[in-house]
Structure formats: C-alpha cells, structure tokens
Amino acid sequence: MNLQGNGFVIRRAFSDDEAQLEFIRSFYFGPFLSWSREDLKSQVERGQVWVLTSEECILAYLSDREVGDDIEVLSLAVSPRHLQRGLMEKLMSELYFDQNKAACQGSVFLEVHEKNQRAIRLYERLNFVLIGRRPVYYSDGGAALVFKRDRRSG
C-alpha cells in the first residue's frame, strides 16, 4: 500500500532508507532506550516499517506488527528537522484510522515512556486510551504506559 496526498507519500521502508532511518532513530531514542540499529534493520527486512516521505526525504517512520486483527506499534519517530508539524498524527491516522483506506478492524496498541509528554499528548489527540502501566520498564527505571485504540472508533 502506498498512500499519497498533500505532497506526502506513505510507503513501506526499503533497505535503501536505512541511513535516513538510523539518523532519526539515533537522535530520538537516546533518552528513552528503545530499538537498536539492528532491530530497525530487521524490521525493515520484514516489511514492518512505514515511512512518511516528501521528495525522497523521510520525515517520519513507524514500525509495527500485526497480531491477529490487532496492530502493535513497536517504534516511531519524526525527523528532528520536522518536529511539531503533525506528521506522526498524519502517519498514524492514515495507516490505522482512515475508514476509507485502512482495514479498520481490531485495535492498535502501543507503549510509551511515562516522561514522554509529547507522545502522550499525540496519543490522547488520536483518542488512544490508557489501559495499563508497566513499572520499571525502561533502563532508567521509568514506567511504560500502555495505550489502546479500537480502529473503528473516532
């Protein structure tokens, strides 16, 4: 599936994208310890990474996996050059919640560091609901907040 609109293209990542993906990953995940370069490369090889691009520049990425009818978001980040532009909201909305494009069955689950307020606000804007907390989940001792949204809900 390739989605286009407003100068953006959403598509699966290719191995040629790995340098751009690594730049974004290494910038973003430092303080929250998450996915390694090898993890991201493996996810690209398995077709689990989506990218939002404009003129061949990756602006944001998201990796996920299907579990039955549900989706588990594994990792997501926006290029530091393109923060605060609503790109992740656009990417997630197009992939998971657009009733005209997405399968819209099951639920979407994700976890976020309890201190990542920017991400928490995004998930709340997208109508995710906090359903759990995993204490001492991250290496810094921080908890993971678990969010869920049914794909058919608005």
pLDDT at site 109: 96
- H or E stretch covering 50: strand 49-54
pTM of full prediction above 0.85: no
67 phi and psi, to 5 degrees? -130, 95
Q: pLDDT-derived band of residue 104, with 50, 70 and 90 as boundaries?
A: low
Kindly list the distances between the CA atom of residue 74 and the CA atoms of 39, 60, 81, 110, 123, in Å, as whole numbers in the listed order. Answer: 10, 14, 22, 7, 14
Task: Give domain 3-108's CATH number out of 3.40.50.1820, 3.60.130.10, 2.40.50.140, 3.40.630.30.
Answer: 3.40.630.30
Q: What is the pLDDT of residues 22-57, one digit of tens each?
A: 888 877 665 445 567 787 788 888 888 999 998 889
Q: Which residue matches tokens 């993906």?
A: 21
Domain spans of the chain, in order of start: 3-108
Q: What is the pLDDT of residues 45-95, one digit of tens each?
A: 888 899 999 888 999 999 999 999 899 999 888 888 887 778 888 888 888
